[in-house]
Amino acid sequence: MVPHRERPDDPRNRREPAYHPAMLLALDIGNTNITVGLFRAGALLATRRAATNGRATTDELDLLLDGLLRLDGIAMADLDAIAAASVVPALTGAIEAIAERRDRPL
């Protein structure tokens, strides 16, 4: 067997994390609840839950998320990115609009 030599330029030999250790808002948008997780450098800082309103406007959802974050002393401006999983198409579009409005990657 020939020993494998590590090549520094090979991406498989990277020693840095696969994500940027920033502030991430993770959303799980279900038919009953919206579950929010707040991560910093990969560590879970807080979780919150609110009832899903499938007819909520983008502004209403933005206010809801802002209020949930403020319960833990965090503002939307503190976020570096948003990750979302959704089974509610109307709210998926609203989250996309919020991310674009706030200039945050989704």
CB-based contacts of 75, cutoff 8 Å, min separation 6? 66, 69
pLDDT at 54: 93
Counting residues of the chain whose pLDDT is more than 70, the rounded percentage is 80
In the predicted structure, residue 8 carries a pLDDT above the cut 80:
no
pLDDT at 20: 56
Counting residues of the chain whose pLDDT is more than 90, the rounded percentage is 77
How much is the pTM? 0.78
Residues 44-60 as b/e (b if ≥16 CB within 10 A, e otherwise) read eeeebeeebeeebebee
> In 3D, which of 4, 54, 9 has the Cα closest to residue 33?
54
Helix (H, G, I), strand (E, B) or coil at 21: coil
Tell me the pLDDT tens digit for each residue of 29-73: 999 999 999 999 889 999 999 999 999 999 999 999 999 999 999
Q: The tokens of 37 are what?
A: 């997780």
